[in-house]
Amino acid sequence: MALTTVPVELANLDGAVTVNESSADVDFRIESDTNANSLFLEGSTSHIGLGTGSPDDNGFGAGHGILAVASATGSAKTAMLNLMGDGNDTDATRVASVFFNDQSATGAGKTLAGVEAYRASNHATDPGADLVLSTNVSGGSYTQRMRIFADGSVGLGPNWNGTKDSSFKVMADQSGWMSVFHNSGNDNNRYGIKLGIGNNAASGTNYAMGFDNGNLTANQGYITFSGGTVTYGAFTAHHPCVIPDADNDPDSSENAYPYGTLLETTSLSYTQTEETDTERGIRYNVQKSSGAYSKKVLGAYGSSMNDAPHNPDNEHQALILGDGHILCNNEKGNISVGDGICTSTTAGIGMKADKMAMIIGIAQEDVTFSGSETKLVAVQYGLQQFTPWTD
C-alpha cells in the first residue's frame, strides 16, 4: 500500500506508532521529489538505506544494523554504519563501525576505508571503547592502521601489530624514513623536536632516547641526562670523508677498508648549498696513513655510508671521538693501557707511540703481539699531541 495523501485526523499523531507489527517480510520506503528511496528499510535484512534502495552489507551479513548512505551525486560511493553487532557476532564487543565504500569498484578494491569502535571488554560495567581506523577493507575483512585505546594510548602505522606497551607507538615497514617532521618557514625560529621527560629536578638518570636493533631484541645505547648534563652512551663520533676512487665502490655499502684502519687527510672540501661552499660543512678527503708519526692522521675507518638516505656515491666514516678500535702492529712493541696510538710505517696500521707524536687514540687494554700480526686495540679516540709515559 502506498499513501500519497494523509487524512487530517492522522496529520498530528500523539502516541506510539507501530509499522508492520506482524513482522512480515516487507520493506518500508519514503520518497522525495528527487529520490524514490530517501529512506528505505529492507524488511529481510533490517538494513537501512539513505538515498539507496539496496543497502548492501558488503559481506557483514544480516542483523548488523547496517546503514548505507548513497552519495548526493549518485556515483555509487556509499558509507555504511554498523550500529551494533548482534548476539551472533564473532566480535561481540563491537559498538559501532563505519565503512566508506566504492560500490562501483570490484574485488579487493571495493571498500576503501573503515572506522570502528570497540568496548574495552564485553561487560556493561566496563563501557570504555577503543576507536579503530582500518583500510583495504574487502568483503568484511579489514586491516587496522590506527587504534586509539579507551585509556588514550595510540598505536598506528602500516606494520602496527596491535600491542599497547607505550602511550604512543608507531610501527612501520618502510623503505626510507619511518617518520619526517618538517617545520618549514625558512627561518631559524622553526624548531625541531623537544622532549620533556623524567624527574622535574633533572636528578638521577633520565632516559631521553633509546636505540635498539631492528627487531627490538638488543639495546644499542641511550641518550640520558642528569643535573643539566646530557650523556650519550655508548658513543662514537665520526667525520664524513671521501676515500680515493680506486678504493671506493659507489654501488656498495660494504666496508672499503678493514674496521680500525688509520686514515690521514689529503685535502679539504665543503658541502654545497646553491652551488656555494657552506661555512661549516667540511668534507675530508683521506687515504690510508702513509708513514710513521703522521701529523695528518684524522681517525680510524668505521664503515661505508654509500647507502645513506641522501644518496652519496663516495662517503665513509672516519671515527674520531669516543669508544672504538684501531688496527695496530708491534712495530714499537706491545701496547699497554694508556699508551698513545700513532701511525706506523705500514699503511693504515697504528703502533705504540714511543716519542712525542700526533695520536688518534689512547689504548684501553693491554695487547701482546707474538709476531708481525695486526690486532684491533680498544681505544678512546681523540686527536692530540701525546708525550709517552716515562715510568
* Distance of alpha carbon 107 from the chain centroid: 31
Among 3-17, 93-107, 186-200, top mean pLDDT goes to 186-200
Place of cell 529512506: 39
The pLDDT, as a whole number, for residue 125 is: 53
54 Cβ contact partners less than 8 Å away, ≥ 6 residues apart? 68
Query: How confident is the model over 114-130, as a mean pLDDT?
Result: 61
Domains in the chain: boundaries: 27-161, 237-386
Query: How confident is the model over 160-188, as a mean pLDDT?
Result: 89
298 Cβ contact partners less than 8 Å away, ≥ 6 residues apart? 239, 241, 263, 264, 265, 284, 286, 318, 320, 360, 383
pLDDT for residue 260 is more than 50: yes
Who has greater pLDDT, 51 or 291? 291
The pLDDT, as a whole number, for residue 1 is: 59
Cis peptide before 92 (omega within 30 of 0): no
Among 116-125, 127-136, 231-240, top mean pLDDT goes to 231-240
The pLDDT, as a whole number, for residue 390 is: 87
The pLDDT, as a whole number, for residue 363 is: 98
Weakest-pLDDT range from 81-85, 141-145, 160-164, 202-206: 81-85
Q: Which three cell numbers stand for residue 346?
A: 705500514
The pLDDT, as a whole number, for residue 368 is: 98
Residue 41 one-letter amino acid = L
The pLDDT, as a whole number, for residue 175 is: 87
Who has greater pLDDT, 62 or 303? 303
How many Å apart are CA 233 and CA 94, to the nearest integer?
46
pLDDT for residue 103 is more than 70: no
pLDDT for residue 160 is more than 90: no
Q: List, in sequence order, every residue forming a beta bridge with 268; answer none if it has no partner.
A: 284
The pLDDT, as a whole number, for residue 225 is: 96
How many Å apart are CA 149 and CA 19, to the nearest integer?
40
pLDDT for residue 204 is more than 90: yes
3 state SS for the chain: CCCCCCCHHHCCCCCCCCCCCCCCCCCEEECCCCCCCCEEECCCCCCEEECCCCCCCCCCCCCCCEEEEECCCCCCEEEEEECCCCCCCCCCCEEEEEEEEECCCCHHHCEEEEEEEEECCCCCCCCCEEEEEEEEEECCEEEEEEEECCCCCEEECCCCCCCCCCCEEECCCCCCCCCCCCCCCCCCCCCCCCCCCCCCCCCCCEEEEEEECCCCCCEEEEEEEECCEEEEECCEEEEEEECCHHHCCCCCCCCCCCCCCEEEEEEEEEEEECCEEEEEEEEEEEEECCCCCCCCEEEEEEEECCCCCCCCCCCEEEEEEEEEEEEECCCCCCECCCCEEEECCCCCCEEECCCCEEEEEEECCCECCCCCCCEEEEEEEEEEEECCCCC
The pLDDT, as a whole number, for residue 174 is: 84
CA angle 13–17–20, rounded 5-degree value? 140
237-386: what fold? Virus Head Decoration Protein; Chain: A, (2.40.300)
pLDDT bucket at 379, cuts 50 / 70 / 90: very high
pLDDT for residue 101 is more than 60: no
The pLDDT, as a whole number, for residue 303 is: 97
Weakest-pLDDT range from 1-5, 43-47, 100-104, 300-304: 100-104
pLDDT bucket at 65, cuts 50 / 70 / 90: low
pLDDT bucket at 361, cuts 50 / 70 / 90: very high
271 CB neighbour count, 10 Å cutoff: 11
Place of cell 565504500: 101
Q: Which three cell numbers stand for residue 92?
A: 561481540
Query: How confident is the model over 153-182, as a mean pLDDT?
Result: 88
Query: How confident is the model over 350-373, as a mean pLDDT?
Result: 97
pLDDT for residue 83 is more than 60: no
Residue from 82, 81, 83 nearest 69 by CA = 81
Residue 48 one-letter amino acid = I
Who has greater pLDDT, 13 or 200? 200
pLDDT bucket at 55, cuts 50 / 70 / 90: confident
